[in-house]
Amino acid sequence: MPAKWTLEELTPGRTVEATFFPNPAEATEFRLRATHLDGRRAPKVVLTNDERVVAGVPCLVQVVAIHKPDREDRGRIEVEYVGKAPFKIEGVYLDPVVSKKLQVLLEAGLNILLDGPQGCGKTVLARSIADSLGMEFVFFNCGAVVEASDFFVSIQVKASASGAPVTDFVKTDILIAMEEAGDNPERKYLVFLDELNRCQESARNALMPALDATRRVFHPIENTFIPIPDNVQFIAAVNRGREFSGTFGIDAAQLDRFAPLQMTYPPPKAELDILSKRHPSISVANLQVIIDVAHEIRTAADLPGTLSVRATDEACVYLEHPLFADDGKRSLPEILKTSFCGRFPGSWDDVTSDAGAVWALVRKTLAAAKVPVPDDAPAK
């Protein structure tokens, strides 16, 4: 699909999807504007004054008129509201009910907490939301936060003009986004706080005023509080469970600043759909074997950990590579030994370890799929 629309394609009456934001232009009758239609760049600014269009919420619109089509530097595309846009998230599985809840929370502008097992797609979901809604995606890993100020600045040591070392404050992506959002009200920002519970509770307290009705943060460089514009939305992700080390509890007051959403691994049919789109060169039969093995591991009651979707994706990366692709299913035992067993403690050939238990499940599922396992790799 071309990256940009042509005027010939956007004939009056055509229905497209768009996300509108307040129009900063002065002396205009149009209160909302958009730059993309169906995810493609429009050849002219898209304007509407339809009261049914809500800023920041994707909707379906119909092209009404194109003004000054012969001028590349002038003109506009006028549209009117048709209806709500279907909520679409690509590349990640969401339970249908959770998907509806997510849409409601996004439209309300509430802070969202994604809670689920590692590798179930929390980061992919956040990126997909930003892409779908035309938002600037700001990724921040909270695992690097030690002090409260680390959310907003880092202290860097560098050489001065004389060569002597000096310290300097460097703004984090979060603080830069806060400042940019204030200067660009027509743009929306999604700040994704990954691994929120990997920083200490005392450090997270710095975010409390940002996440409640106060909507402000302390600017360590300017030594003052700055407001958080309405065009900024926070989404955080946590991993909770006994298998995770280096994590800290989240108290009730901090949790209350978020609307929690539970995520889980995709069911086999949904994972097959995701992987077949990412790896179209792999046969459905081979993909199904990989997914069946993963499902057996994820539903095993005696394993303390579980298997992320990164593992199934990694197995596909191996399988589609020319070094393995010619071997077909014969490569699967060695690939799964690395990508699946390697994510658990112990060794695949030690039946007393978690990795050994996983290998036993791999062998059992491969045998049911009539995939031969070499004799030199027996389960002990």
Domain boundaries, the chain: 15-84, 96-262, 268-368
Query: How large is the average pLDDT for residues 69-88?
Result: 87
What confidence tier does 87 reach under pLDDT thresholds 50, 70, 90? confident
Q: Letter for the amino acid at 144? A: A
**The residue to which tokens 């403690």 are assigned:** 345
pLDDT at 318: 95
pLDDT at 303: 82
Query: How large is the average pLDDT for residues 200-205?
Result: 85
pLDDT tens for residues 152-184?
A: 988 777 777 777 777 788 899 999 999 999 999
CATH topology of domain 96-262: Rossmann fold (3.40.50)
State the DSSP string of 271-310. Answer: HHHHHHHH-TTS-HHHHHHHHHHHHHHHT-TT-SS---HH
Average pLDDT value over all residues in the chain:
87
Answer whether residue 288 shows pLDDT above 90: yes
Query: How large is the average pLDDT for residues 255-275?
Result: 92
Q: Which residues contact 208 (CB under 8 A, 6 or more apart)?
A: 214, 253, 254, 257
pLDDT at 95: 87
What confidence tier does 240 reach under pLDDT thresholds 50, 70, 90? low
233 touches 181 (CB < 8 A): no
Query: How large is the average pLDDT for residues 26-53?
Result: 89
Q: Which residues contact 76 (CB under 8 A, 6 or more apart)?
A: 30, 44, 45, 46, 47, 66, 67, 68
Q: What percent of the chain has pLDDT over 70?
A: 94
Answer whether residue 121 shows pLDDT above 70: yes
pLDDT at 376: 47
Q: Letter for the amino acid at 143? A: G
pLDDT at 375: 65
C-alpha count within 13 angstroms, C-beta hemisphere, residue 56: 21
Query: How large is the average pLDDT for residues 327-350?
Result: 91
Q: Which residues contact 11 (CB under 8 A, 6 or more apart)?
A: 63
What confidence tier does 233 reach under pLDDT thresholds 50, 70, 90? very high
pLDDT at 3: 72
Q: Letter for the amino acid at 321? A: H
Query: How large is the average pLDDT for residues 46-56?
Result: 90
CATH number of the structural domain 15-84: 2.40.50
Query: How large is the average pLDDT for residues 316-327?
Result: 89
CA–CA gap between residue 260 and residue 95 (Å, rounded): 14
pLDDT at 367: 92
Answer whether residue 275 shows pLDDT above 80: yes
Task: For residue 261, list its beta bridge partners.
Answer: 114
76 touches 29 (CB < 8 A): no
Answer whether residue 150 shows pLDDT above 80: yes
pTM, to two decimals = 0.74
What confidence tier does 134 reach under pLDDT thresholds 50, 70, 90? confident
Query: How large is the average pLDDT for residues 344-357?
Result: 93
pLDDT at 71: 84
